[in-house]
Amino acid sequence: MYLEYWGLNIPPFENLPNPDFLYFSPKHEEALTRLTYAAQGRKGAAMLTGEAGMGKTTLTRAFIRQLAEEKFDIGLVTNPSLQPVDFLKEILYQLDVAERTDSKVELLRLLNDKMIANIQEDRNTLVIVDEAQAIEDEKTLEELRLLLNFQMNDRFLLTLILVGQPELRDRVSQIPQFAQRISIKYHLSPLDFSDTVKFIFFRLKVAGLEKSIFSEEAIKTIHEASGGIPRSIVNLCDLCLLVGFTYKVPLINSKLVEKVIRDGEGEA
């Protein structure tokens, strides 16, 4: 709606997990490095946490995209609020294993066979569980822990990566045997002001704009209102461009940002 007015080719502030719009702050760079190390180093398990809206899902998509398909067989579970048997079924489905059994023993055998086949093809089996804080059944978490028992003398048969909000850390810590086996952990913290500036300009550039259309004071207001949470920044910026278009302003200033915040009852 406002693209032509601002000189944009595509919407710069969509709330979608599009890796092309992922701004790699130093924190996101480190998170990606740790995930990559876990996958390439055939570690047993890794965990990435962060507040809602920190870009964990987008980072996960970028992480998957950079892994060579011929080297990794990846199962991505995005709806993990399942009972143990259904969870195993979902993992097998995501790894393209056709199963027709409700027996947990048979499901585990199918998974073991798949992992052995991957080793023979020189591929690593990677299971990523997004929104893992949604796992409410402790038995399901215990089942995930037991998956780490699939190992040979010199390597794990799969790498498990848990991605979720901070409460995931609390749930995992309540199972010491599980927490101790997650060798790589990282928590994404909010963007500081400098990275908020870079985040906004990066998205505008990807969308086709080479100039600044947000004043420094406007970005300060956005940063304060959003708390440095990327999703909140995106929501505010999108509305600012819409309101700026409506009023035909040449630049997004702090007064316009404040209006957008007030109109939204103070919610970023």
Written as one string, the DSSP assignment of 107-150 is: HHHHHHHHHHHHHHTT-EEEEEETTGGG---HHHHHHHHHHTT-
Q: Which two tokens stand for residue 256?
A: 């316009």
3-state secondary structure at position 178: helix
Overall average pLDDT of the 29-51 stretch: 96
Indicate if the pLDDT at residue 76 is higher than 80: yes
- Residues 257 and 225 sit within 8 Å (Cβ to Cβ): yes
Q: Go through the domains of the chain in sequence order and give each one's CATH number.
A: 3-21+191-263 (1.10.8), 26-188 (3.40.50.300)
If pLDDT is split at 50, 70 and 90, which confidence band does 98 have?
confident
Residue 94 has a pLDDT of: 96
- Residues 63 and 201 sit within 8 Å (Cβ to Cβ): no
Start-to-end CA span in the chain (Å): 21
Residue 164 has a pLDDT of: 97
Q: How far apart are CA 42 and CA 99, in angstroms?
A: 26
Q: How far apart are CA 23 and CA 70, in angstroms?
A: 27
Residue 93 has a pLDDT of: 95
Residue 265 has a pLDDT of: 56
In this prediction, what percent of the chain has a pLDDT beyond 70?
A: 99
* DSSP string for 25-59: -HHHHHHHHHHHHHHHTT-SEEEEEE-TTSSHHHH
Q: How far apart are CA 24 and CA 230, in angstroms?
A: 11
The helix (run of H) or strand (run of E) holding residue 197 is: helix 193-206
**To 10 degrees, what angle do helices 216-226 and 254-263 make?**
30
pTM of the complete model beyond 0.85: yes
Indicate if the pLDDT at residue 22 is higher than 90: yes
Which CB contacts under 8 angstroms, 24+ apart, belong to 220-223? 220/193, 220/254, 221/254, 221/257, 221/258, 221/261, 222/196, 222/257, 222/268, 223/191, 223/193, 223/196
If pLDDT is split at 50, 70 and 90, which confidence band does 138 have?
confident
In Å, what is the CA distance from 92 to each residue of 22, 96, 191, 206?
29, 6, 37, 36
If pLDDT is split at 50, 70 and 90, which confidence band does 266 have?
very low
In this prediction, what percent of the chain has a pLDDT beyond 90?
A: 88
Residue 246 has a pLDDT of: 96
| Count of C-beta atoms within a 10 Å radius of residue 144 | 23
Give one word for 252, left, alpha or beta, with left for phi > 0 and alpha for psi -120 to 50: beta
Taking the CA atoms of 37, 42, 43 and 48 in sequence, report the sign of the dihedral they define: positive
**Nearest by Cα to 142 from 114, 171, 113:** 171
Indicate if the pLDDT at residue 192 is higher than 50: yes
Amino acid identity at 202:
F
Indicate if the pLDDT at residue 268 is higher than 50: no
Question: Of the ranges 119-133, 148-162, 189-203, which one carries the lowest mean pLDDT score?
Answer: 148-162
Indicate if the pLDDT at residue 51 is higher than 90: yes
Residue with tokens 């480190």: 30
Indicate if the pLDDT at residue 125 is higher than 70: yes
Overall average pLDDT of the 31-58 stretch: 96
